Structure 1
Amino acid sequence: MRLDLEHDEVDLEHGDLELEGRIAVASNATFVGTIGDVAVVYKPVAGERPLWDFPDGTLASREVAAYLVSQALGWTIVPLTWMREGPLGVGMVQRWQEPDHERDPVDVVPSHAVPDHWRTVLEGSDEGGRPLTVIHEDSAALRRIAVFDVLVNNADRKGSHILPVSEGHRYGVDHGVTFHTEPKLRTVLWGWMDEALDPDEIAGITQVRAKLDGELGEQLATLLSGPEIEALTARCERLLATRTFPRPEGDAPAVPWPLF
């Protein structure tokens, strides 16, 4: 469960972090850069935009906590993520993953053209009144992200926060608004609602629950509040009891906006 920050001859924890540009569409200050020959994303705590429902200055820590839960699941959903000093102060650093968008796992298509074996999330219409459907692929990799999002209580799983890479793997990124104590799950991955979890998914959740009583719990205690860790534990236990994908809870929208 310890962070492995070794990469050939590059010191990812202390090596020079050189900024190369800023991601202008991000809500919070987000930069791309390099540490040696390693491409990274850097989100300084000083650049976080205040939110009414999350404590100020905690988004970077939540991103690292999400990585630790991903590692505990054993599914490599979140790219390597850690906290360190950077040009604009302490922040979250994450290894860059170059997506392959030949086949995005989440899409919007005309309602008459939904491919076989894809899941429907929402139906609506465009400005001309033509029916549209929000869909996502029906794959084991995407199911794992959906389970992960339930555990971390992800309040912002946009389609663009899923990075398709080679051989069918999918990474999840942008986990700053996670681990709230209240139900906050907002996601575009509702296609398996009420369906049974498979044995691999149950095994992953079981691992997280067990590790919360050991090293994982100790690591998360440096990143999250006590009630937030208790809520994570309760979500694990609830999934293990129901063994099904949940339905939306509460009065908040069940999907993020924008969707991508």
Structure 2
Amino acid sequence: MRHTLPIAPQFYVTAPQPCPYLEGRMERKLFTALQGENADKLNDSLSQQGFRRSQNVLYRPSCAECSACLSARIDVNAFTASRSQRRTMHRNADLNRRASSPWASEAQYELFRTYLDSRHAEGGMADMDVFEFAAMIEETPIRSRVVEYTDEASKELIGVSLTDVLSDGLSMVYSFYAPDHLKRSLGTYMILDHIRIAQEAGLPYLYLGYWVPGSQKMGYKAKFSGLEVYIGGQWQAMRDPEAFSADTHPLSTDPIAEQVANIHLPDTRPTR
């Protein structure tokens, strides 16, 4: 009888391109395909090692002379809302939340375009059309949800998050919201609401993507208590954001071969 052995994930490195977070720098990513019957296990394992999902790909920054980007997550049991965050939750008490299967809609795309044109007109997603948007939402080999927020009175869709459900938490893959509702602080509110969802589900973490010292775009993440960052192969509690540096150094990043060798892959052998 012939047996087919599982194939270990293959890792690749992107060509350098301009960094979207720190001006004048080049970014490079280490990535692998997310596919097959063990996609959930691979996503869980690599998410715990600082990787992020984009459709059918898992990636992690691997820049030649910079290690500023740090994967960030919130320990939801260690989180305590600040006074400002409690006000944000109160201001948005009139919003309705709906979680559904990852399926794109015209209303989502219209909100997405409005958000990009207002906040990220020069970003890498600026030219994304409706078909590419649908692929971003729908092409997922793992357990994902689209979480929508609508105004109770007007029924207007004003916030959306594409959220993955991991074995140890939730991962906010990408979120966008109506930019003209400034007083609502919708970006902050959606994170606060996802903390609440994770707590109710008994999941210990909320994964937020990357925090980058020196990047104004990412500064808001450091305002959440219970924040942890992935450094040197382990998660550490964020104590003082000012203690982190965005300085470059030729020895900032381990060689690619060493990085790959230190990645722990899940055991996908069938149980007897």
TM-score (normalised: structure 2): 0.27
TM-score (normalised: structure 1): 0.28
